[in-house]
Amino acid sequence: MSLAEQTAFADLTSLAEYGAQPEYASDAFEELASWVRDIAALTKPARIHWVDGSEGERQALLDDMVRSGTLIRLNDELRPNSYLARSDAGDVARLESRTFIASEREIDAGPTNNWAEPVAMRATLTELFDGSMAGRTMFVVPFSMGKIGGPISQLGVQITDSPYAVASIEIMTRVGEDVTELIADGAEWVRTVHSVGAPLEPGEDDVAWPSNDEKYIVHFPDTLEVFSYGSGYGGNAILAKKCYALRIASVLGRDQGWLAEHMLLIRVISPEGRAYHVAAAFPSACGKTNLAMLRPTIPGWSVETLGDDITWIRPGSDGRLYAINPEAGFFGVAPGTGESTNVTAVETLRENVIFTNVALTPDGDVWWEGLTEEVPEQLTDWQGQPWTPDSGRPAAHPNSRFTVAAAQAPSIAEDWEEAVPLDAILFGGRRATNVPLVAEAFDWAHGVFMGSTISSERTAAAEGTVGELRRDPFAMMPFCGYNMADYFGHWVRMGAELTNPPRIFQVNWFRKGDDGGFLWPGFGENSRVIEWIARRLDGSADAVETPIGRVPSEGALNLDGIEVSRDDLEALFAVDPDSWLAEADLTEEFYDSVGDRVPGALREQLQALRDRLQTAKRG
């Protein structure tokens, strides 16, 4: 019996036994149930299924998607319990141009967000969602960001008509009746609603990847709601991820005194057994997963994974910051993830994975550019077409993805769901020039200045021209749910309240030489930079001051076992005053574009940078 048959019911007031509405006698639960009924009355689904998170339910969901063509089951001997999804060619990435912040006041969204007047936007969404789930199952998915009941965790409920989204949410969050019980007991929760926008007429055949050319991803920060329409792609359909865990959570953090950040989280362990907890903010597809699963090449050092993409940070009573990874899984970019670049990720993906838009091998396994050095002679590409190395196009989409439970990673820390004290915060992007391999901030305010000035070359993870330089402060430009200038101010204020703040560093693995080649080998060798940072934290590594921050002194960076020429090393840390003065002008232009609410402390940092550069220029 299919999942649809198991969950069928005659009308919206008579739920089926399987996936039926739970029964809790509380006003809090009735508020949830009433909301579900209201969304059902608007979207008019054929059936409703309350997700309980059980393994039997999940397998029924996956089997049903295989039967419908949404998923292809991979060779169970080569990739056990794993699946491939192929999206519509027009639904392959986050849609920043269709992402809106519908705050009551336009100034609260700020100039870096697309603002929408909330009353008008609700009217637009009501029209779009009216009947949008006809002929489909409406799934009700209660989820927890962070371990269920954890002190930094937050709850939410997603309503969706996409079984692919449900299966992904079950990997990326904690789903189940325990969450519903917390809501019934009065815990606060965030409302999220998603529809692919493809209603079915009676008897109409479905397509493997339903979607709609018209797309909206709308956040209502004043009422803590998210509505997403038209896209089935992960970043637009897994609303617990960027929509909730960053855009809505950043608003919660602003109001409640904490931070929701686009950061990985790792534990670095020295040969002496000392643990350092490091969070790092990089734009999408710029090496977050590689660093999150780093295998140090330096003997005696190890790295444990805590999270690869999002970190929530709260101040503790001891004057330090404490952090968790609120997600339960990894939604990573496949291309470039390979045996030579991130063997830990490859090992993580051996079973229980949902792949999206990668290539299919003749024997029923997956492949993407960068997975292996040897390119297969024959594949089926991400659009289901025959492919050979002579095809002249990628076999996997550049933004193809894997979705897998974090607990599967060989590098995952045993206590990865617990809060850890932060020792260091890294900011980085993909810069071919100017930015050194590593630089330490002079203090918290200077570190916030570093974070606010991050820029990176655009990747395939978002709309736009690949290679174009884009400002991405704190790697949060697409993900901050309120005015970016106010967000800068929130960072400044957070540091002022800490007696033992983490140290802040800027890193850049991507600086190039005059010949266009990378100056630094990267990947596992990045552990040498992490070692220097750790030694700075314990006071055993030397640094010299430059106008932009402290960099390793001669001999302080451990280069044993690798070949980096003296010229390349000098180029990696070169600080040209004229180039940086030009960069300071661009930073001022960016600050002006953000608006007059940029904190005075950051403009003071900009002027101090210019003063140091002028002094260095005079010699």
Is 79 within a domain?
no
CATH number at residue 181: 3.40.449.10
- Amino acid in the structure at residue 19: G
Q: Which domain holds residue 179?
A: 11-51+95-256
CATH number at residue 296: 3.90.228.20
Of 209, 228, 256, the residue that ends a domain is: 256
Kindly state whether residues 445 and 395 are assigned to the same domain.
Answer: no
- Amino acid in the structure at residue 310: I
With contact defined as beta carbons under 8 Å apart, do 342 and 289 qualify?
Answer: yes
Give ∠ CA 458-526-291 in degrees, rounded to 5: 60
Instruction: Tell me the backbone φ, ψ of residue 611, rounded to 5 degrees.
Output: -65, -45
Is 514 within a domain?
yes
Q: What is the CA radius of gyration of the chain?
A: 24
In three state form, how does the secondary structure of 68-107 look? HCCEEECCCCCCCCCEEECCCCCCCCECHHHEEECCCCHH
- Note the pLDDT of residue 465: 53
Q: Which one, of 301, 510, 324, lies nearest residue 416 by Cα? A: 324
Lowest mean pLDDT among 1-15, 236-250, 341-355, 372-386: 1-15
- What tokens appear for 314 in the block? 């709260």
In three state form, how does the secondary structure of 212-273 look? CCCCEEEEECCCCEEEEECCCCHHHHCCHHHHHHHHHHHHHHHHHCCEEECCEEEEEECCCC
Kindly state whether residues 220 and 345 are assigned to the same domain.
Answer: no
Kindly state whether residues 155 and 43 are assigned to the same domain.
Answer: yes
* Mean pLDDT score of the chain: 93
pLDDT tens-digit readout, 251-271: 999 999 999 999 999 999 999
Is 78 within a domain?
no
- What tokens appear for 118 in the block? 């909330």
29 has a pLDDT exceeding 50:
yes
Q: How does 71-85 read in b/e, with b if 16+ C-beta sit within 10 Å?
A: bbebeeeebeebbbb
Kindly state whether residues 282 and 392 are assigned to the same domain.
Answer: no
With contact defined as beta carbons under 8 Å apart, do 189 and 158 qualify?
Answer: no
Integer angstrom CA distances of residue 253 from 109, 219, 311: 15, 15, 12
Residue 352: band (very low, low, confident or very high) from pLDDT cuts 50, 70, 90: very high
Q: Which one, of 232, 41, 53, lies nearest residue 141 by Cα? A: 53
Q: Would you call 286 a catalytic residue per the annotation?
A: yes
- Note the pLDDT of residue 457: 65
487 has a pLDDT exceeding 60:
yes
pLDDT tens-digit readout, 146-166: 999 999 999 999 999 999 999
Kindly state whether residues 541 and 578 are assigned to the same domain.
Answer: yes
Kindly state whether residues 313 and 435 are assigned to the same domain.
Answer: yes
Kindly state whether residues 252 and 270 are assigned to the same domain.
Answer: no
Kindly state whether residues 430 and 461 are assigned to the same domain.
Answer: yes
Is 549 within a domain?
yes
Kindly state whether residues 469 and 613 are assigned to the same domain.
Answer: yes
- Parallel, antiparallel, or unpaired: how do β-strands 420-421 and 424-428 relate? unpaired
DSSP structure string for 19-39: TPPP---SHHHHHHHHHHHHH
Map residue 539 onto helix, strand or coil.
coil
Is 70 within a domain?
no
Residue 468: band (very low, low, confident or very high) from pLDDT cuts 50, 70, 90: low
Residue 21: band (very low, low, confident or very high) from pLDDT cuts 50, 70, 90: confident
Kindly state whether residues 103 and 240 are assigned to the same domain.
Answer: yes
With contact defined as beta carbons under 8 Å apart, do 50 and 20 qualify?
Answer: yes
Q: Where are the alpha helices (DSSP H) in 238-375?
A: 249-256, 288-292, 343-348
The DSSP 8-state label assigned to residue 489 in this structure reads H
- Total domain count, the chain: 3
Is 29 within a domain?
yes
127 has a pLDDT exceeding 60:
yes
With contact defined as beta carbons under 8 Å apart, do 142 and 175 qualify?
Answer: yes
Kindly state whether residues 339 and 194 are assigned to the same domain.
Answer: no
**Mean pLDDT value of segment 21-42:** 95
pLDDT tens-digit readout, 392-427: 999 999 999 999 999 999 999 999 999 999 999 999
Is 61 within a domain?
no
**Mean pLDDT value of segment 87-91:** 96
Give pTM, 2 decimals. 0.94
Residue matched to tokens 């019996």: 1
Is 71 within a domain?
no
Of 381, 408, 435, the residue that ends a domain is: 408
Kindly state whether residues 516 and 379 are assigned to the same domain.
Answer: no
- Note the pLDDT of residue 330: 96
CATH number at residue 386: 2.170.8.10
- Note the pLDDT of residue 287: 79
Of 211, 235, 256, the residue that ends a domain is: 256
- Name the catalytic one among 246, 286, 450, 485: 286
21 Cβ contact list (under 8 Å, min separation 6): 15, 33, 36, 48, 50, 140
pLDDT tens-digit readout, 289-320: 889 999 999 999 999 999 999 999 999 999 99
